[in-house]
Amino acid sequence: MTPHVFPPQAYGGFTLAEMLVVVSLLAALAVLATPSFVAWHVRDQVDARARAMLSTLTYARSEALRRGVRVTVCRIDSAHRCLPVGEACRSGTLDWSCGWAVMAEQPGSTVLSALRVQPGLAAVSVNGTLSNLTFTPPAGQVIGGFRNFDVAPRSILRATQGNNWRRCIRIAAGGRPRISDGACGAAS
């Protein structure tokens, strides 16, 4: 009996040269996409920080109304204490990137207790002109002439510069905050 002989089969697959071309194309696409990905991530951080500040300000105003006491939003140090006006954060910055807290007066006293704390994020600068912002009962109005926060990336990347990467939080005299795209001083 003769052994059964199978016809030679052509094996499918890629040659080494084809594989190298595909890998080099994927590498080139990754290099081209990286700046866009980094820019997207920075924009996401700026938007998240602006929403966190808006949420904090809204919360502080509502707590002033609900509790009937002064509620203060202040920049904080690493021990979650309010920083004095003009004192730099541990990172050396004079903005709100070191974090902030909502502090309420205890009824009948001037002692402040922390209601909410937002930790720092050095990648995003949050600029305002004063260190503290106080909401007062019964209407939740803001004390002082402070009315804006400018939220922007601290990054030096060319792709993340300009008003498209900035957010402005404006606080009305009645204490209600809102976010708008662009820098606070930019024309709308």
Structure tokens at 161: 């510069």
**How does residue 50 score in pLDDT terms, banded at 50, 70 and 90?**
very high
Cα–Cα distance measured from residue 137 to residue 178, given in angstroms and rounded to the nearest whole number: 20
Domain boundaries, the chain: 16-181
Q: What is the DSSP string of 25-93?
A: HHHHHHHHHHHHHHHHHHHHHHHHHHHHHHHHHHHHHHHHHHHSS-EEEEEB-TTS-BPPTTPPPTTS-
Task: Decide which of 124 and 2 is more confident.
Answer: 124
Query: Higher confidence at residue 84 or residue 3?
Result: 84
Query: By percentage, how much of the chain surpasses pLDDT 90?
Result: 16
pLDDT of residue 9: 67
Tens of pLDDT, residue by residue over 122-156, are 888 888 866 688 888 887 777 765 578 899 888 77
Q: How far apart are CA 110 and CA 58, in angstroms?
A: 22
CATH 3.55.40.10 is held by the domain 16-181: yes
Is 14 a residue whose pLDDT tops 50?
A: yes
Confidence bin at 120 (pLDDT 50/70/90): confident
Token digits of residue 73: 């939003």
Q: 187 pLDDT exceeds 60?
A: no
Q: DSSP label at 8? A: P
- Which SS3 state, helix, strand or coil, does residue 102 take? strand
Instruction: Say yes or no to pLDDT of 59 above 80.
Output: yes
Q: How confident is the model at residue 168 (pLDDT cuts 50, 70, 90)?
A: very high
pLDDT at residue 188, rounded to an integer = 46
Instruction: Describe the strand order of the beta sheet including 99-105 as a list of residue ranges.
Output: 112-119, 99-105, 71-75, 132-136, 141-143
What's the pLDDT tens digit per position in 64-117? 989 888 898 988 888 888 888 888 887 777 888 888 999 998 877 777 788 999
With a threshold of 0.85, does the pTM exceed it?
Answer: no
